[in-house]
A and B are shown apart, each in its own frame.
Chain A
Amino acid sequence: ETGVTQSPTHLIKTRGQQVTLRCSSQSGHNTVSWYQQALGQGPQFIFQYYREEENGRGNFPPRFSGLQFPNYSSELNVNALELDDSALYLCASSAQQGGAAGANVLTFGAGSRLTVL
C-alpha cells in the first residue's frame, strides 16, 4: 500500500507567477484535501475534492484552484503568487465514509515547500 506522494518537494517562484503542485492519493482513498501550513503554524484547509469536484473550501481566494482526476490524484494551482503564499502545501487523502466525504482520518503527504520571492 503506497502512501500519499507529492511533487515537487521544493520550489521557488517569484511574485506574480503561477504554480502547480501535484498529489497522488493513498491506494483506496477517493477524497483529496489540500492544506497550507505557514512556518510555525498548524495546517489551514484550502479545499477538498471528491468525485472530481470541489467539495468544500476554506478561506482562500479564487486564485487557489484545484483539480481531481479519475484516478483520484489531484493538483493545486495558485495564480498571481504573493509573498505570503510561501508555505508548505500539504495534500491529504481519505476514504469517503458514507454520505458527505468526511474529514476524519486523513493521510498526509510530506508536502511541497513553496518559496515566493
Chain B
Amino acid sequence: GESVGLHLPTLSVQEGDNSIINCAYSNSASDYFIWYKQESGKGPQFIIDIRSNMDKRQGQRVTVLLNKTVKHLSLQIAATQPGDSAVYFCATPGAGRRALTFGSGTRLQVQP
C-alpha cells in the first residue's frame, strides 16, 4: 500500500532564508502528490500539488520537486516568513482514490 514519510520532524530556519521540507513515498505507482500546511488550531490547507508527469511545479514562493527515480519529493519555501510557521504534510491518493494518505508531518519553525 501507499505510505509517505518525512525526513525530519522539526525544521528551524531564520526568517528570510529558504526552507526545504522533504518527503519520501513507497509506491512507485503514486501519480499525484499534494502538500498541505496546518497551522495551530486549524485544518490542513492546500498549498501546491504535482502530478507524476512533472518534475517541478512553482507557486507563489513555493516550489515542489518530484524525483520519481528515488521516490522523493520536496517543498521549497523561498524567503521564509513567520507566517510560514506550521506543520507541513505531503499526501498522496490511496487505492481507489477515495482517501489521501498523509505523512506524519514536519514542523517548520521560523526564527526572527
Chain A residues proximal to chain B, CB less than 8 Å: 4, 33, 40-45, 48, 55-56, 58, 90, 92, 100-111
B42 lies within 8 A of A110 (CB): yes
Which B residues, 63 to 112, have Cβ-Cβ distances below 8 Å to chain A? 89, 91, 93-94, 96-105
Closest chain-A Cβ to B56's Cβ sits at a distance in Å of: 19
Range of interface residues on B (Cβ < 8 Å) = 20 to 34
Main secondary structure of the interface of A (DSSP, over half): loop
Q: Report the nearest B residue to A48, measured CB to CB.
A: B98
Given A43-B102, A48-B98, A103-B98, 20 new contacts (CB under 8 A): A42-B89, A43-B44, A43-B100, A44-B102, A45-B94, A45-B100, A56-B96, A56-B99, A90-B43, A100-B96, A102-B93, A102-B97, A103-B97, A104-B34, A104-B49, A108-B36, A108-B43, A108-B44, A108-B45, A109-B43
Closest chain-A Cβ to B99's Cβ sits at a distance in Å of: 3
Which B residues, 25 to 78, have Cβ-Cβ distances below 8 Å to chain A? 32, 34, 36, 41-46, 49
**A101: B residues at CB distance < 8 A:** 98
**B102: A residues at CB distance < 8 A:** 42-44
**B41: A residues at CB distance < 8 A:** 110
B43 lies within 8 A of A55 (CB): no
Q: Report the nearest B residue to A92, measured CB to CB.
A: B43
B99 lies within 8 A of A103 (CB): yes
Q: State A7–B105 Cα separation when bound (angstroms).
A: 25
